[in-house]
Amino acid sequence: MDHFNRRNGVLHAEDVPISAIAEAVGTPVYVYSTATLERHAQVLKAALADLPRVHIAFAIKANPNLAVLGVLAKQGYGADVVSGGELKRALAAGMKPEDIVFSGVGKTRAELQLGLDEGIGQFNLELEEEGEVLADLAHAQGKSAPAVLRVNPDVDAGTHAKISTGKAENKFGVAIDRAPAIFDRLAKRPGMNLRGVAIHIGSQLKTLAPLEAAYTRVGELVAQLRAAGHAITHVDLGGGLGVPYEPDDQVSSAEDFGAMVRRVTADWDVTLMFEPGRFICGNAGLLVTEVIWVKPAAGHPYVIVDAAMNDLARPALYDAYHAFEAVAPTGEKFVANIAGPVCETGDTFAMGREIDVVKSGDLGVFRTAGAYGATMASTYNSRALVPEVLVSGDRFAVVADRIQPETIMGAERVPEWVR
Ligand SMILES: Cc1ncc(COP(=O)(O)O)c(C=O)c1O
Ligand SMILES: N[C@@H](CCCC[NH3+])C(=O)O
């Protein structure tokens, strides 16, 4: 069920008219639905419920808002973090240290130390040297660091090149055929509890075939490692499940994913870990924007909105599609380009797309903006950082303020030789 739906022709987030939020908070603004977050969290939990031992860690890079994390913590989700900052957020949101997994290809010594100090559940190692440093840090404190080795299965995820992570040429993980030798050396190091493997082959995967191929290779590796005498108790299967962005997008369901995982992992006898991001929050968010001008142009007219690439970077970065609709459509359509105010030609959300007819002052939304939206926002062009609102039933709360350029200026220093 979509918790963003129309009543009397006006788009609502749960029971709140989008126009009421825009009036109270201004635009652009991200709006998230608590009910959608909860539903997606529950759907995935249910799809994986038959597996013997499961741990789900929300990839908080997708949406690190503390309120969003709080909703997911209440659903029993842990966190997959990729920086010290994300680790602190997960803890601040009430996630238990032991439910936190630390991924990331460039964890610094300070970040590894922070993870040890906080007693997090697992480090996902990206290379042997990282494991050596972690082991030494842990050993120095009389600890043993729980870790898995991320392998790169060289599988084509069939997703956008900039969000593929499981091809041999990508920077992530160690080549799967190098894993046994690394295990032999690393597992016996004092301070290291090397207990399994991890993979994550990419994001926005619409089909299960690449995941199944990758998981199958991991299954073979687990057998090989066990044959070599290693105790393998944990396998982290990463995230990557896609969501529908375009009207006719077909993506595999959580149920099909669960069935595939059950089939492929039937004889693994491990704790399975998952790191979903987009699947949980993608469709739980909208970016609400106001039309500034409708500007005639040589081709199609430009609908210039007050949201821009600094608020939602995905179209400019990945040519990503985000459906646009008017909050109170007239029923008429026209073909237009949609662009933001930033001084870049690439600051476009759509080119030559049939959309609701809108005029200056009208409200519109970009859908499926709950993942990799606000979290990737910047202040480019000295624009304010976009605020975020969480809705639940007929209530809403501002869960991140609009941070004005003046505030950010206060964080800078002009040295005396410039003054
Ligand atoms: C290691 C890791 N885990 C999980 C995720 C979450 O991916 P997604 O949002 O596609 O589920 C990512 C991002 O691609 C990632 O790099
Ligand atoms: N930022 C990307 C996803 C990156 C996934 C992280 N490894 C997107 O918006 O689609």
**pLDDT tens digits, 340-387:** 999 999 999 999 999 999 999 999 999 999 999 999 999 999 999 999
| Helical (H) or strand (E) element with 47 | helix 34-47
Q: What average pLDDT does range 63-89 have in this prediction? A: 98
In this predicted structure, which of 1-10, 182-191, 375-384, 393-402 has the lowest mean pLDDT?
Answer: 1-10
Write the pLDDT tens digit of every residue in 276-286: 999 999 999 99
The ligand with the least distance to the CA atom of 162 is 2
- Find out whether 277 is annotated in a ligand binding site: yes
Decide if pLDDT at 414 tops 80: yes
pLDDT at 324: 98
CB count within 10 Å of CB 96 equals 14
Q: Shortest CA distance to 328 belongs to which of 304, 370, 356?
A: 356
Q: Of all residues in the chain, what percent carry a pLDDT higher than 70? A: 100
Q: What average pLDDT does range 196-216 have in this prediction? A: 96
Q: What average pLDDT does range 16-23 have in this prediction? A: 98
Active site residues: 343
pTM for this prediction: 0.97
Q: Which of the 8 DSSP states describes residue 43? A: H
**Assigned architecture for domain 34-278:** Alpha-Beta Barrel (3.20)
Q: Which of the 8 DSSP states describes residue 64? A: -
- Nearest atom of ligand 2 to the alpha carbon of 314: 9
Burial code of 177-204, b = ≥16 C-beta within 10 A, e = fewer? eebeebbeebbebebbbbbbbbbbbbbb
Report CA(80)–ligand 1 centroid distance (Å): 9
- Find out whether 344 is annotated in a ligand binding site: yes
Q: Shortest CA distance to 282 belongs to which of 50, 32, 92?
A: 32
Q: What average pLDDT does range 91-108 have in this prediction? A: 97
Q: Shortest CA distance to 284 belongs to which of 25, 26, 58, 47?
A: 58
pLDDT at 362: 98
**Please, what is the average pLDDT of the chain?**
97
Where is pLDDT greater, at 168 or 89? 89
The pLDDT-based confidence of 295 (bands split at 50, 70, 90) is: very high
**Assigned architecture for domain 4-32+282-409:** Beta Barrel (2.40)
The full 3-state SS of 131-172, as one line of letters, equals HHHHHHHHHHCCCCEEEEEEEECCCCCCCCHHHECCCCCCCC
Q: Where are the domains of the chain?
A: 4-32+282-409, 34-278
Write the pLDDT tens digit of every residue in 222-270: 999 999 999 999 999 999 999 999 999 999 999 999 999 999 999 999 9
Mutate to test the pocket of ligand 2, among 159, 372, 376 (most ligand atoms within 8 A of CB): 372
pLDDT at 1: 59
The pLDDT-based confidence of 2 (bands split at 50, 70, 90) is: confident
Q: What average pLDDT does range 317-328 have in this prediction? A: 98
The complex's ipTM works out to: 0.98
pLDDT at 161: 85
In this predicted structure, which of 54-63, 193-202, 408-417 has the lowest mean pLDDT?
Answer: 408-417
**Cα gap 142→190, rounded to integer Å:** 9
Report CA(239)–ligand 1 centroid distance (Å): 5
Which residue, by CA, sits nearest to atom 1 of ligand 2?
Answer: 372
Mutate to test the pocket of ligand 1, among 103, 167, 200, 279 (most ligand atoms within 8 A of CB): 200
Cβ atoms of residues 30 and 286 within 8 Å: yes
Decide if pLDDT at 164 tops 90: no
- Nearest atom of ligand 2 to the alpha carbon of 313: 9
Report CA(1)–ligand 2 centroid distance (Å): 25
Q: Of all residues in the chain, what percent carry a pLDDT higher than 90? A: 94
Burial code of 374-389, b = ≥16 C-beta within 10 A, e = fewer? bbbbebeeebbbbbbb
